[in-house]
Structure 1
Amino acid sequence: MALPMSRQVLKEMAAEYGVCLHPVTLRRTDLHTGQTEVIDLPCGSTRDDKCPPCAKRARRLRQTQIREGWHRTDEPAPAPEPATEAQRELILLRAHLEFARDDAQRAAQFDQVPAIDQAITEVEEAIAAEGLRGQVAPPHDGNEDDNPGGRRKRSTRRRQDAPDLPRKKVEPRTVGKVYTAPDGTQHRPSMWLTLTLDSYGRVLPDGTPVNPDTYDYRRAAWDAVHFARLLDRFWQNLRRCVGWNVQYAGCVEPQRRLAPHAHFAIRGTIPRAVLRQVAAATYHQVWWPAADEPVYSLDRLPVWDGDRAEWVDPDTREPLTTWADALDAIDSNPDAEPAHVVRFGVQVRAEGVTPGTVHAQRTIGYITKYITKSAADCHKTDTDRQRDHLDRLWHQLRVTPCNDRCANWLLYGIQPKKAHGRLQAGRCKGKVHQRATLGIGGRRILVSRDWSGKTLADHRADARAWVRNLLGVTTGANDADPVDQDDPPAYAWELARPEDADVPPLQHRLLRALSQRAQWKAALLAARDKAAQGAATLTDPDLTGQEGRA
């Protein structure tokens, strides 16, 4: 039994060579000849527990993205090109349709509105096809009926318990300051930053609370759910404070105590005192109905009244407070307080990083250390105390509202927005309620818009271009003949099932892919050795002279 299993060795070698272990199998049919071909595509998973090779590839891509944008000396985003005449005409047509829709509503000609909406949809599709980015206006999705008074406005006055921040006009530049040494050399360092949340109680070195009964799990759950909003507010405040468009790239991950914190690479330098000042002055207020104590329990929940289409108390049959009425009560109360306020903790760590150093490369690895793991798997739970701590936090997250449509509002006597009879309190499908996320429901990798000036697809294309250049390949996908959109398709694609007769066993496909990867790796290593020898020939005068004499 000490002998290794051949299939396990195959999987280990496939992972070593970067072969996807769970490929997506497609069948391509040539519509002219009828010939079919089974093609495996990488699953593209970013989770190490699902497909380690694909997750490792995604991690390297993120590291490349951080590296290329961190120490840039030029602006990554060029100014947009001026709009063409055709694009301007489409925008004008969209304006005419918006005017016609408003005119029809004012004249109570509601039968004309659907046709105008259809025309608006077609024009916006034409605008996107013409090459304009983004939406020219938000869609007309019928949400006007949910809030007849329009968007609710909150006071922008800062809280009295938060320190004030200087506010400067934000310059469009994104690169940092240049420093000149006494010998005249210039360098442009950057930084990396760690932001953490506040304390919820004393914890032991293993991350578990000293006293679980006094540990504030409710505040920990609410802070985790709204941590992303707090980070957005921090970058907004920081840019206004320093007066230039600060760029960042980083990752959100849990600490050992299971509270989220974030590591960021920052282009340019900012005084540590300013970073601490901005972190201390940053907060996010959650203007939701009060949800301090549940009105109902998971064993005794409100019931759905199908005749009235609303949730009612199980005993009195009185309807629960609607979402709109609950917000109206907050708006009408001049002394109303937010349901929750999220703040950073006192631990703000910032360090300077010089480009091209070992420290810079290690920091990139540190920032991306856990991006291939789920939040709950970042730290091992080996003891009963750690498992109990995780369970208590998860049970609190299960009953914490995640948005205005969350079913958990029923526990607090509130009908969520657009309530329906399928809601189940404690079983909301939002990501923040999952045990694997620990309340981090949004994106864990956060990259500012003008970081590297490239998308992930652009970075992949750069990697392919580097390989083609090294191998001496002069043609690529961009050199293919253009396809006329009016021509009928040449191929038909469909998902192939493992039990289909023309689909070989997974082990056969892994063996073929392993062989192909091994050949690719050998060719790449040979090309790199050849390129290194050529570079040595050009730079070594002894080799150059010997070649000349030969």
Structure 2
Amino acid sequence: MSPHLDAGVVHELALKEGVCVRPLLHRVTDRETGEHTVVVMPCRSVRESRCPNCAEAARRLRMQQCSEGWHLDHEPEQADEQEPSDQDDPADHADESAPEQDEQATRRTRSTRRRDDLGELPLKPAEPRTIGAVFEGKNGRTYRPSMFVTLTLRSYGRISPGRGVPTDPTRYDYRTAALDALHFTKLLDRWIQNLRRCAGFKVQYFGAIEAQRRLAAHFHVALRGAIPRSTLRAVTRATYAQVWWPPMDDTVYTDRVPVWDGVDYTDPDTQVPLTTWDEAMRRLDEDADARPAHTLAFGRQVDIKGLLGGTPDADRTVRYLAKYLTKSVAETYTQPEVFDAAYEAHIDRLHNEVRYLPCSPACANWLRFGVQPKDPGPGLCPGQCSSPAHDRENLGIGGRRIQVSRGWSGKTLSDHRADRSAVVRQVLEAAGYNPHEADRMSTETLSEDGSPKYHWQTVHLPPEKASEAIIQSVFERRRWRNEYERAKASVLCNAPPVEVNSATS
């Protein structure tokens, strides 16, 4: 790289050319020949603050996934195995819809009696389908509408209109807001389960968890098929989720920290072991008057829309649903060029609650309440749990920002990515180009003995080498783009004329 080409110029060039601004370098070894090759790969972050180009590519991929499954008129083929998110960003892992179980292996039996203060669920016999019903309109036209729903959480105090900050922070219930954020996905899982019992078919969904301006989580969800609005509202009113954990009302340790003695965490003064997780849960089971540590429910505001596939409204809604996927929860409404002290203080107060409340049975924050986390080990410290849910940028929503049902499109996220690549490959092959580099040195390529032919090893880059890798990516992208444009022009010149009957311009 030229000495006068500094990192800032390279960064701007990468943004302009649409390549990754923090590429990963891999050394690939051919096990048969021993030959080494250096390969530059994008970081594939889903956060705009880390890599705008990779984040935008991830957002468009999610939009494609949403569009393909929303208005299907046939049952999708089920994928053999659904994968966790293959984005290497912790804020988007485990994006499939298996209900969360904190203790799935040792699940305790609780009473299934519903609370008396909530409405009853309008149960309906289920049909073995995932696609929506067809309705006949005028002149014999048929319609297969689907739904778009927005769910919000309850109020925690009065909010200044348009600002998103409490009018009186001392009366705002930050603790409940933090607990609702930490366990929001449990409430969503319960809502989907209830909806499927009440809608009469196995409803499929694609949803995104986002933050309102007041920083409370809300859920935009595309539902396949038409569901009566009365049913959606009744299910939302009747849905709640309970967290059966040891009490979290009284903090036992604040300044003092329990000590690890090699087997248990003990009181720093008396050296008496703290209550174990299993013992705390046993006491909870034996207490006939025990109450859940926290109960979640939705707020009154429910926005419901019916949409038809292929319409401008449906396309616009897909873009709206994916609008904030590239931003973290805390930065959704913040503007780097404008500093709002009141809003930053609001974020800090909510983060202070999220940071020290338990996120799971294994969370280190249980030590603050005199309980040892499940399966404890050395090095645990309250306020330093490794879960991204406690980070200031996430404010309790540390995972599963995207929630997709297994029968949505019948494809994994990798399948959708492969579909986009296949379009380019078909154009290149039709024009006589050999896109051999698409599968170059794949980890799935095997030697004659059945072992992987190539070994991939990550190489850590100093800043100057990272700039060189970006420049290499820019040249490679330009070359690919030129080949693709020439291939398209060649195909168009040789293609026979066809009649165009597109429904959209």
Match of 1:209 in 2: 166
The answer to which structure has the higher helix fraction is: 1
CA contact (8 A) 1:174 1:245 kept: yes
1:226 alignment counterpart: 183
Give the equivalent residue in structure 1 for 2:397: 440
CA contact (8 A) 2:445 2:453 kept: no
1:388: Cα distance to partner? 0.9
Q: Name which of 442, 446, 449 aligns with 1:486.
A: 449
Deviations 1:397-438 (A, max 9, x none): 111111112221222222222334422122222222111111
State how 1:194-343 maps to structure 2 within 5 Å.
194-204=150-160, 205-297=162-254, 299-305=255-261, 309-343=263-297
- For residues 438 and 493 of structure 1, what CA distance do their matches in structure 2 show? 35
Superposition pairs for residues 36-115 of structure 1, below 5 Å?
36-77=36-77
Spell out, residue by residue over 1:296-339, the C-alpha distance to the aligned partner (whole angstroms, 9 max, x if none): 32x13444455xx4334444554433322222222222221111
AA in 1 matched with 2:457: E
Query: One-letter code of the match for 1:245?
Result: K
Matched, 1:193 2:149: yes
Is the CA contact 1:75–1:175 (under 8 Å) kept in the aligned structure 2? yes
Q: What are the ranges of 5 or more consecutive residues in structure 1 without an aligned counterpart?
A: 81-142, 541-550
Q: Which residue pairs with 1:452 in the alignment?
A: 409
TM-score by length of 1: 0.78
Question: Cα distance 1:431–1:10, how it changes in 2: closer, same or farther (>3 A)?
Answer: closer
* CA shift digits 1:450-483 (9 cap, x unpaired): 0011111111221122112223157767899974
Aligned to 1:111: none
Are residues 497 and 283 of structure 1, via their aligned partners in 2, closer, same or farther at CA, if it must alter by over 3 Å?
Answer: closer
Measured after TM superposition, the shift of residue 153 of structure 1 is 1.1
Please, what TM-score do these two structures have when normalized by structure 2?
0.84
Q: Is the 8 A contact 1:16 1:53 kept in 2?
A: no
CA spacing shift, 1:9–1:358, aligned 2, 3 Å: farther
Partner of 1:94: none
Q: CA deviation at 1:8?
A: 3.9
User: Is 1:513 matched with 2:467?
Assistant: no
For residue 376 of structure 1, give the secondary structure of its aligned residue in structure 2: coil
Deviation at 1:288, TM superposition (A): 0.8
Which shifted more, 177-186 or 215-224?
A: 177-186
**Equivalence for 1:396:** 353
* Partner residue, 1:171: 127
Deviates more, 1:230-239 or 1:6-15: 6-15
Conserved? CA contact 1:409–1:416, under 8 Å: yes
Shift of 1:528: 4.0
Residues 324-379 of structure 1 show CA distances to partners (whole Å, capped at 9, x for unaligned) of 22222222222211111011111111111221122211111111111112221111
> Would you say the 8 A contact 2:79–2:411 is kept in 1?
no
Greater RCO, 1 or 2 (C-alpha within 8 Å, sep 6+): 2
191-200 or 368-377, which moves further after superposition?
A: 368-377
Task: Return the alpha-carbon distance in structure 1 between the equivalents of residues 423 and 39 of structure 2.
Answer: 25
Superposed CA offset, 1:160-214 (max 9, x none): 1121112234323111121211111112121211111110001112111111111
For the 8 Å contact 2:194–2:239, the answer to whether it is kept is yes
SS of alignment partner, residue 330 of structure 2: helix
Tell me if 1:375 matches 2:332: no
* CA contact 2:131–2:224 (8 Å) conserved in 1: yes
Matched, 1:152 2:120: no
Which amino acid is 1:335 matched to? D
Greater mean deviation of Cα atoms: 435-444 or 235-244: 435-444
Aligned residue for 1:320, secondary structure, equals coil
Counterpart of 2:302 in structure 1 is 348
- Whether 2:343 is the aligned partner of 1:407: answer no
- When residues 504 and 296 of structure 1 are mapped into structure 2, their CA distance, relative to the original with a 3 A threshold, is closer
Matched to 2:50, the amino acid is: K
Structure 1 match to 2:85? none
Which consecutive residues of structure 2, in runs of 5 or more, have no partner in the other structure?
Answer: 81-102, 501-505
After TM superposition, give the deviation of residue 34 of structure 1 in Å.
4.9
User: Highest Rg: 1 or 2?
Assistant: 1
Partner Cα separation in structure 2 for residue 13 and residue 257 of structure 1: 36
Mean CA deviation greater in 436-445 or 507-516: 507-516
Moved more, 515-524 or 150-159: 515-524
Distance between the aligned counterparts of 1:327 and 1:488, measured in 2?
47
1:360 paired residue number: 314
Aligned residue number for residue 384 of structure 2: 427
Report the Cα distance in structure 1 between the residues aligned to 2:445 and 2:79, rounded to whole angstroms: 28
Q: 1:317 to 1:246 in 2, by over 3 A?
A: same
Q: Kindly state the Cα deviation for residue 248 of structure 1 after the two structures are TM-superposed.
A: 0.6
Query: Secondary structure, in 3 states, of the residue corresponding to 1:183?
Result: helix
The aligned counterpart of 1:25 is: 25
In structure 2, how many angstroms separate the alpha carbons of the residues matched to 1:190 and 1:459? 22
Deviation of residue 293 (structure 1)?
2.7
Distance 1:79 1:199 in 2: 40
Partner Cα separation in structure 2 for residue 422 and residue 512 of structure 1: 42
Q: Distance in 2 between matches of 1:214 and 1:349?
A: 28
